[in-house]
Every structure is written in C-alpha cells, then in structure tokens.
Amino acid sequence: MKPIQGIKRRVVNLNDAVFEPFENGVGTGLLQLNPNVKRGIGFYVYKMEPGATSTPHHHIGAEEFYIISGDLVDNDGTEYRAGDLVWLDAGTEHSSTTKTGCTIVVFSEKGETPPLSD
C-alpha cells in the first residue's frame, strides 16, 4: 500500500478545533472535515454555546446524532444528555436549545431546509 497523501487526510483534535459559524451564526459552530460533500451533510461536529438555540429546520433525510457533552432540549420538550444517541426520521422538524452548551457528533443523510409546517 502507498502512504496516504496529505491532501487525502485531515486530522483535527476537538480540543484545538476552530468551528465555523453555522445556521444563524449566533452561538453555534460546525466542524466538517470532508471537503467533498456539501456543508451540513454527512458527518460533522456541531457545537452550541450556553443558551444558544438552533434554527428551526426540516430534515430532508434522516439525521443521527450523539451528544458528546452538555445538554440539549428539543422544542417539544424532549431532553438529551451526554451519552445519548438519537435518530430522527426524514421529514421531522425541530429546533433545539442548550442551557450549559453542548458538543454533538452528527450524521445528516441529506441535509435540511426551513420548516414546512408552522
């Protein structure tokens, strides 16, 4: 086997990572290593500062996420904590908030759009 070329591998330590603003850019950040997929699709790390709220959105495809640290509460009152692994089906809509801040590993099958319902 040949060694992996530098442009074919990216390594980032979460302790040193620089997160790009995500959604409305207020208190949320995204770290996505794969340059070959659209932003917010596939595997990425999502970070919310204490008190931040995500933009309401509709899942085009399924979304799965794992809470690495912190807390998260969906608009319907469902509470998630560190260690929770969550699956949301395509077509689901939600917005989330955090009291203490959180770091989440996300896999988004097809991305998201603004909500289709009120």
Q: What is the CATH number of the domain that holds 98?
A: 2.60.120.10
State the average pLDDT over residues 37-59.
95
Number of domains into which the chain is organized? 1
Would residue 92 count as lying in a domain?
yes
Q: What SS3 class is residue 100? A: coil
Would residue 48 count as lying in a domain?
yes
Would residue 5 count as lying in a domain?
no
Would residue 70 count as lying in a domain?
yes
Question: 88 near 62, Cβ under 8 Å?
Answer: yes
Residue 23 has pLDDT above 80, yes or no: no
Residue 118 has pLDDT above 90, yes or no: no
Q: Which residues contact 47 (CB under 8 A, 6 or more apart)?
A: 19, 28, 29, 30, 31, 101, 102, 103, 104
Q: Which domain does 90 fall in, by range?
A: 20-112
Would residue 1 count as lying in a domain?
no
Provide the pLDDT for residue 6. 84
Would residue 53 count as lying in a domain?
yes
